[in-house]
Structure 1
Amino acid sequence: MGVTSKKKLTQYERLAGTLRDRIAAGTYARGDKLPSEMELMDESGLSRSTVRHALKVLVDEGLVRTERGRGAVVAHTPALPHKKQVF
């Protein structure tokens, strides 16, 4: 039976994915400060605990680090896949 189940993402997973995509796309480069928790809360409509959970996921992945007095900063930018050149 060809039934595939899609796992519904939680709110923190969706926010982490959005931030991950922005980092991969270059919207936020290595060393850039991410929006504050309050800005992310306003933008997403999510609670502070959900925003913090999303940021923790990115910290655990090594994409983001937190700095005292500065907030969340991009620690690593994943390499984008190279396209093969056809001659």
Structure 2
Amino acid sequence: MRIEIWTDIICPWCGLGQRRLDLALAQFGHAADVEVVHRSFQLDERAPTGATRSSRDMLRQKTGMSDAQFDQATGNIERLAAADGLAPYIVRD
């Protein structure tokens, strides 16, 4: 079996999905027969290259997300990651 994973390296959901795939493969009796191919994908094709900005600022500009909404969303992701054994999994910057 071949699994192709398309991910954006800055996407916290992609990292969580990778962890869940790893856990699933660890429990799969035929994991040795699985080929995992990683592909890169840029979620925001308009993101500036060579520029650095915080996730908070990026989401505020892109979606209008408030600081409280950002804290709630990233807190949820961090809690899910911790439950899957990814602690610390820091989304906030």
TM-score, length basis structure 1: 0.37
Structure whose residues are more often helix by fraction: 2
